[in-house]
């Protein structure tokens, strides 16, 4: 979600965009002839700023009237007194910033509800499969390879290889892709992992189907895992380090 100050900065900075851009009607009528208008350092610098601001404005572009934006730029550049005083400008920037934030909150809530519904429907069907086991917490798992070594406890450190996917099959993280296993305290990860890996033994490989409540919940994680996402992990347990044993450097 855009921070309040971030939204204000983008709206205030939008004025510079017009100085480096042509109106949409001009670009549609005739394409620019190469880079003839980007010959000097000043032109290139202005264009670079315009590109950066244009990209930053992607989330607020629907709230910005470019014609009015250009008027403000032209009038101030021409030495005219702004038609909206400081208080009026601050008021409208605050109002639009609040509107943007409210829209983002509503969109995130909608996404969370949709993801929750899809996750619950998936787990309900998945749990009917004969090879899927479901724990009291709602965690589902499927044993791919049975391990023969030690089983970890919540206070242990574990070394694993893993691949995480969303319900649509998109891979959001994979130690296999990095060609590097990961070691971490089992108590310091999402509840689905803490519970699930204690059901494994070293040398084993298990596929976990983790409800949102046992994963990242409504907050999601980063840009790839949205709110209330049900996650699927394939986990290979390589090693268990008992208690507070230091993790091997990787």
At 192-235, the pLDDT tens digits run 999 999 999 999 999 999 999 999 999 999 889 999 999 999 99
For residue 22, pLDDT beyond 50 = no
Q: What is the mean pLDDT of the chain?
A: 85
Catalytic (active-site) positions = 162, 172-173, 190, 216, 233
The three-class DSSP label of residue 46 is helix
In the chain, the domains with their CATH numbers are 4-83 (no CATH), 128-241 (3.10.50.40)
| pLDDT given for residue 57 in this prediction | 74
Is the Cα torsion angle 84, 87, 88, 91 positive or negative in sign? positive
Q: Does pTM surpass 0.75? A: no
Ranges 24-33, 123-132, 162-171, 223-232: which has the least confidence: 24-33
| pLDDT given for residue 65 in this prediction | 82
Maximum average pLDDT range among 21-25, 47-51, 159-163 = 159-163
Closest CA to 141 of 205, 66, 189, 89: 205
| pLDDT given for residue 223 in this prediction | 84
Closest CA to 144 of 182, 200, 215: 200
Q: What is the mean pLDDT of residues 70-83?
A: 87
| pLDDT given for residue 37 in this prediction | 87
For residue 243, pLDDT beyond 90 = no
Q: What is the mean pLDDT of residues 169-177?
A: 95
**Residue 20 pLDDT grade (very low, low, confident, very high; cuts 50, 70, 90):** very low
183, β-bridge pairs: 159
| pLDDT given for residue 216 in this prediction | 95
Rounded to 5°, angle at Cα 195 from 242 and 158? 30
Which of 160 and 8 is assigned the larger pLDDT? 160
Is the Cα torsion angle 115, 118, 121, 122 positive or negative in sign? negative
- Torsion, CA 28, CA 31, CA 35, CA 39, rounded to 10: -60
| pLDDT given for residue 127 in this prediction | 96
**Residue 244 pLDDT grade (very low, low, confident, very high; cuts 50, 70, 90):** low
What separation, in Å, do the N-terminal and C-terminal C-alpha atoms of the chain show?
Answer: 35
Residue 18 has φ and ψ, to the nearest 5°, of -65, -35
Question: Residue 149 has which token pair?
Answer: 């070594």
């Amino acid at each position: 979600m855009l921070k309040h100050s971030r939204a204000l900065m983008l709206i205030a900075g939008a004025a510079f965009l017009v100085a480096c851009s042509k109106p949409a009607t001009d670009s549609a009528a005739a394409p620019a002839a190469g880079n003839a208008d980007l010959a000097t350092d000043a032109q290139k610098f202005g264009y670079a700023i315009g590109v950066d601001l244009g990209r930053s404005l992607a989330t607020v572009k629907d709230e910005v009237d470019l014609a009015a934006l250009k008027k403000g730029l032209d009038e101030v550049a021409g030495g005219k007194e702004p038609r909206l005083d400081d208080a009026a400008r601050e008021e409208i920037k605050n109002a639009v910033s609040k509107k943007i934030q409210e829209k983002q909150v509503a969109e995130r809530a909608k996404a969370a509800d949709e993801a929750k519904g899809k996750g619950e429907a998936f787990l309900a069907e998945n749990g009917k499969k004969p090879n899927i086991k479901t724990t009291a917490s709602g965690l589902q798992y499927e044993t791919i390879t049975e391990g023969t070594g030690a089983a970890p406890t919540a206070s242990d450190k574990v070394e694993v290889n893993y691949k995480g996917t969303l319900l649509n099959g998109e891979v959001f993280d994979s130690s296999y892709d990095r060609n590097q296993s990961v070691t971490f305290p089992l108590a310091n990860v999402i509840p689905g992992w803490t519970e699930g890996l204690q059901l494994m033994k070293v040398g084993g490989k298990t596929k976990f189907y983790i409800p949102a409540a046992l994963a990242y919940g409504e907050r999601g994680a980063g840009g790839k895992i949205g709110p209330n996402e049900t996650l699927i992990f394939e986990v290979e347990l390589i090693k268990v380090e008992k208690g507070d044993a230091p993790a091997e450097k990787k």
